[in-house]
Amino acid sequence: MKQRKVRCILIVIMLFLAISMVAAQPIEEKQPVKVLVFGMFEVGENKGDFAGEFQHFYEAYFDGAESYELNTLPLTLYVNEDGVAGAIAGMGKAQASATLTTILRDDRFDFSDTYILISGCSGMNPERGTLGDVVIADALVDYELGHAWKESDNPKDSDTLFLRSVGYDRPGFIKLNASLVDWAFELVQDVSLNDADAAKEYRKHYSADEALETPAVRRGVSVTGDSYWHGKASSEHADDVCAAYDAGTYMVTQMEDNAFGVVAMNENKLDRLLVIRDVVNYDQPYPGQSVTESLDASSGAFSIGMKNGFAVTNTIIDELLSDWENYKNAF
């Protein structure tokens, strides 16, 4: 009996010591991320060659930074010592949403105060701006979400898409934080933008005054479509979709932004999302050019788009970092 009592006491002591040792272990702190920046693709390597959407950011922020493999895409997240993180998100709505969700739910990092910046290329209606422009989006519209049919199956003069079903408005039309957009737009007005002789020559094929301008920073609606659509009729359809949502006039077209917006809503991060799109092509042919010829043509604007998108986004990132304690809760 006495031995049993001693054994019980020893067991209690051992359990107490074990619990004390566990409790004494330091809790591993999550790594705080101040800014999370995405490009959608890279042309070759992350540095030293022809730059796609991520290379300029990699060279400025992530060369030598810690990297983390998050899934089998492979999705690599880079995080530097200043709290800037970045990744290549992948192209299209499905990959963009999967990437952002995977990152925001990784429990090694603290994203509670993170600003999410999307920086990538886009197309533009030649009557609304020019090659090399950079657009700060104030709203996102999904080009495809809804009930649709082929024009050949349609009653004459009827639309080929409608939004009658409830629920399309949440992912289909996403307003971004107006205060944050206003701040960013004002901040980058004086950023010097690049131009190129090849882009100047290509602009001359278009008659609209806006198409002939030099690059500038603008703002407006960004339209998302998984298909890389092209042509005047497709542009008019984008206007119809924007009108259905009463979203305003679209400025740029791309393949991911609504996906990022939906994930940001789901993760309670929409107020911290900024979308910056640089213009590398017009979204329709010039007079006498076919759609396929237009798609195959080089506008001469890809490289200046990459530089201009980086210049604007870099200005925003550096400003946020320069006074983080103020900006952390500013918007």
Q: Tens digits of per-residue pLDDT, 25-64?
A: 455 689 999 999 999 999 999 999 999 999 999 999 999 9
**Residue range 165-180, pLDDT digits in tens:** 567 789 999 999 999 9
State the pLDDT at residue 84. Answer: 98
* Domain assignment present for 215: yes
Check residue 69 and give left, alpha or beta (phi > 0: left; psi -120 to 50: alpha): beta
More confident residue, 161 or 285: 285
- Would you say residue 18 lies in a domain? no
Look at residue 10 in the predicted model and tell me its pLDDT: 52
pLDDT band at 9 (very low <50, low <70, confident <90, very high): low
Q: Is there a domain that residue 2 lies in? A: no
| pLDDT of residue 24 exceeding 50 | no
Greater model confidence, 24 or 148: 148
**13 within a domain of the structure (yes/no):** no
State mean pLDDT over 249-278.
98
State the pLDDT at residue 238.
Answer: 95
Classify residue 319 by burial, with Cβ atoms within 10 Å: 0-12, 13-18, 19+: middle
Residue 249 within a domain: yes
So what's the pLDDT on residue 168?
Answer: 78
The residue among 18 and 121 whose pLDDT is bigger is 121
**Per-residue pLDDT at 150 exceeds 70:** yes
What's the average model confidence in pLDDT over 192-196?
98
Q: What's the rounded Cα separation, in Å, for the pair 316 and 320?
A: 6
Look at residue 134 and tell me whether its pLDDT is greater than 90: yes
In a domain, 7, yes or no: no
Q: What is the 3-state secondary structure (H, E, C) of the chain?
A: CHHHHHHHHHHHHHHHHHHHHHHHCCCCCCEECCEEEEECCCCCCCCCCCCCCCHHHHHHHHCCCEEEEEECCCEEEEECCCCEEEEECCCCHHHHHHHHHHHHCCCCEECCCCEEEEEEEEEECCCCCCCCCEEEEEEEEECCCCEECCHHHCCCCCCCEECCCCCCHHHHEEECCHHHHHHHHHHCCCCCCCCCHHHHHHHCCCCCCHHHCCCCEEEEEEEECCCCCCCHHHHHHHHHHHHHHCCCCEEEEECCHHHHHHHHHHCCCHHHEEEEEEEEEECCCCCCCCHHHHHHCCCCCHHHHHHHHHHHHHHHHHHHHHCHHHHCCCC
Q: How confident is the model at residue 17 (pLDDT cuts 50, 70, 90)?
A: very low
What is the model's pLDDT at position 149? 77
The pairing of strands 75-79 and 35-39 is unpaired
Range of the domain at 52: 28-327
pLDDT of residue 23: 46
Mean pLDDT of the chain: 91
Answer with the residue of higher pLDDT: 10 or 243: 243
Q: At residue 269, does pLDDT exceed 60? A: yes
Neighbours of 265 (CB within 10 A): 15
pLDDT at position 1 is 52
HEC string of 20-37 equals HHHHHCCCCCCEECCEEE
Residue of 101, 114, 128 lying closest to 211 (CA atoms): 128
State both tokens at 104. 């925001």
- Give the whole-angstrom CA distance, residue 237 versus residue 138: 20
The count of domains in the chain is 1
Is the pLDDT at 159 greater than 80? The verdict is no
Residue 204 lies in a domain: yes
For the segment 79-105, the average pLDDT, to the nearest whole number, is 97
Q: Is the pLDDT of residue 3 over 80?
A: no
Residue 1 counted as domain residue? no
| Partners of residue 116 on adjacent β-strands | 36, 273
Q: pLDDT tens for residues 294-325? A: 999 999 999 999 999 999 999 999 999 999 99
User: Of 54 and 3, which is predicted with more confidence?
Assistant: 54
The pLDDT value recorded for residue 165 is 59
Would the pLDDT of 21 be above 60?
Answer: no
Q: What is the mean pLDDT of residues 126-142?
A: 98
- Predicted pLDDT at 315: 98
Q: What is the CATH number of the domain that holds 66?
A: 3.40.50.1580
How confident is the model at residue 115, as a pLDDT? 98
pLDDT at 164: 60
Contact 308, 195 (CB under 8 A): no
Torsion sign over Cα 271, 118, 313, 319: positive
